Structure 1
Amino acid sequence: MREDLMRWQAQRHAELSGPDSWLGMQGLFWLEPGVNQVGSGEHCGVRLPSGPDHLGDLIRDGERVYWQPLGDSARELQTDRFGSPATVDHENLAFFIVDREGRLAARVRDRNWAARQPFAGLSYFPAAAEWAIEAEWQVLTTPLAMEVPNVTGELKTVLVSHKAVFSVAGQRIELLPMSVGEHEVFFVFRDRTSGKETYGAGRFLKVSPAVDGKIRLDFNHAYNPPCAFTPFATCPLPPPENWLPFAVPAGEMKPRA
């Protein structure tokens, strides 16, 4: 367990200290229908922290977005709706389009962010075998349409067909997944450490799919959502069903200042 946890922690550090880290985000700009100017000028709807006054235009046509640099032809940009988005690069800056339930935004990143303030690293609770829990993976008799808010106040409807059921100190707990995929199950939760030792809006947990009606919830791998590192993320918040009535002193702690 310890070697696997150390590898995961090293991957987390590499992800957050690299050029494409969430710490390098410089802005999130919701696109209006039609032309959205991109550049460092005050008139630009997508404001870059540096570079030319007007770099080009993002043209929104319904659910499609085109990038037209000044003096060049336009090309369509793939959003992140079905995977990795297409990226537009300019020197150390990059931007791409995110789709949030039909609302489209340009997210701007500075890949040279660490030159200003290097990553301070992450803190963790000591590894604890008791927080690697084998839970029952139970089918809901009636699937639940769960309204999940994000940090911007928007709601997303998530259809839940299973729940993880386990006990802590004799107390029966049910945890609802945010998504269930072929390779992983994703949970968002908060507990009595939230806002104290851990990030106030809760933490994320990704685990392997269930096998033979059992699912392993290793809270030592609980981690901070992107919104713990940048105001330009749109993280889901834990639904009330996933507010645990006890502390989970395992996994990632608050980001270092």
Structure 2
Amino acid sequence: MTIEATATDLQAFTESWLEWYRAQEARLADPHGFLAITGLHWLDERPQRFPDAPGAWHTGPEGVVVTLDEGEELVVDGTPVRGEHRFGVLPERGGVNAVWGEAVIEVAKRGGHDIVRPRHPDAELRTAFTGTPAYAPDPRWVVRGRYLPFDEPRPTTVGAAVEGLEHVYDAPGRIEFELEGRELSLTAFPGYAEGTLSVLFTDATSGVTTYAANRSLTVGPPAADGTVTLDFNRAANLPCAYTDLATCPLPPAENRLPVAIEAGLKIPRERGGA
């Protein structure tokens, strides 16, 4: 069911959307945001050096280790470190940000692999960023749905923007809703904030006016009766829409919607968007 809005509501609706949009853009263009990434380095047991990070890096059963040269220093959790530093075993989708001068060296685990991903404020992708094209907000794309929890979370394996990489999420349930006269559903993953849900999807605009691989939508906590609101005006791009140095998950097959959702963020200019 689409939520109707009166003319007097439209200005507040648009202003709320603009606030969301500006926050999305600010996070993306942060001095150490995803546009600042200069390399995606995969670690193994062999010590490796990278042009955009100090030291020699390797990983193994006891986790990530860096060996810094004389005169090199990282700041980890506010503490300067020199020589050998052990980051330990990192949790999946977790990581540590080590400061190196003006840069941040992200040390993380993605798809079971340890990575080093430096972020430099002067990266060309960031300094040249001029914003993301988007559809004008429209209340017709705000839809009521119903959240149906599974008996227990279902481990769900999805692909990634990096070929050969996989992500596994515990899907707590699915969301059913009606749009454009069709009964649809989406598998939901846990959101970042407590109680929220996150949906990865594609639709008939994907690869035409919106990024081909995925978009994401945050859904607020379900009401007591399972009611949720899906505001597709806030369909966001993941970092892989802007850079090949991201490991973003792809939607599960059942989240490929057969309707054109002309709402939310469009193909970035960095990918040829208008």
Residue 73 of structure 1, aligned match among 79, 83, 87 = 83
TM-score, normalising length: structure 2: 0.80
8 A contact 1:163–1:176 mirrored in 2 = yes
The CA distance in 1 between the partners of 2:55 and 2:207, in whole Å, is 42
8 A contact 1:33–1:62 mirrored in 2 = no
Does residue 1:208 correspond to 2:224, yes or no? no
TM-fit CA distance, 1:13: 1.9
Residue 150 of structure 2, aligned match among 134, 140, 154 = 140
Correspondences of 1:162-173 after superposition (within 5 Å): 162-173=173-184
Instruction: Give the aligned residue type for 2:212.
Output: G
Residue 124 of structure 1, aligned match among 134, 152, 159 = 134
Cα–Cα, structure 1 residues 34 and 135, in superposed 2: closer, same or farther, change >3 Å?
same
Correspondences of 1:40-189 after superposition (within 5 Å): 46-48=50-52, 55-71=54-70, 72-77=82-87, 79=90, 81=92, 83=94, 85-89=96-100, 91-113=101-123, 117-141=127-151, 144-152=154-162, 153-180=164-191, 182-189=194-201
1:134 alignment partner, SS class: strand
2:218 alignment partner, SS class: strand
The CA distance in 1 between the partners of 2:96 and 2:196, in whole Å, is 21
Instruction: Give the aligned residue type for 2:51.
Output: R
2:133 alignment partner, SS class: coil
Cα–Cα, structure 1 residues 82 and 143, in superposed 2: closer, same or farther, change >3 Å?
closer
Cα–Cα, structure 1 residues 69 and 200, in superposed 2: closer, same or farther, change >3 Å?
same
The CA distance in 2 between the partners of 1:63 and 1:131, in whole Å, is 48
More moved, 233-242 vs 154-163: 154-163
More moved, 242-251 vs 26-35: 26-35
More moved, 130-139 vs 11-20: 11-20
In structure 1, the partner of 2:44 is 32
TM-fit CA distance, 1:121: 0.8
TM-fit CA distance, 1:97: 1.1
The CA distance in 1 between the partners of 2:186 and 2:269, in whole Å, is 28
Instruction: Give the aligned residue type for 1:23.
Output: L
Residue 236 of structure 1, aligned match among 221, 244, 249 = 249
More moved, 174-183 vs 217-226: 174-183
2:205 alignment partner, SS class: coil
Give unpaired runs (5+ residues) of structure 2: 1-12, 71-81
The CA distance in 2 between the partners of 1:232 and 1:116, in whole Å, is 13
Does residue 1:7 correspond to 2:11, yes or no? no
Cα–Cα, structure 1 residues 128 and 232, in superposed 2: closer, same or farther, change >3 Å?
same
The CA distance in 1 between the partners of 2:190 and 2:117, in whole Å, is 24
Cα deviation digits, residues 118-172 of structure 1 (max 9, x gap): 2111111111112111100112357543221112232233332311000113211
Cα–Cα, structure 1 residues 143 and 75, in superposed 2: closer, same or farther, change >3 Å?
closer
2:108 alignment partner, SS class: strand
8 A contact 1:17–1:118 mirrored in 2 = no
Over the aligned positions, Cα root-mean-square deviation in angstroms equals 2.3
TM-score, normalising length: structure 1: 0.85
Residue 246 of structure 1, aligned match among 248, 255, 259 = 259
Cα–Cα, structure 1 residues 83 and 141, in superposed 2: closer, same or farther, change >3 Å?
closer
Cα–Cα, structure 1 residues 215 and 256, in superposed 2: closer, same or farther, change >3 Å?
same
Equivalent pairs, count: 243
8 A contact 2:55–2:68 mirrored in 1 = yes
8 A contact 2:206–2:214 mirrored in 1 = yes
Among all aligned residue pairs of Structure 1 and Structure 2, give the percentage whose two residues are the same amino acid: 28
Cα–Cα, structure 1 residues 70 and 142, in superposed 2: closer, same or farther, change >3 Å?
closer
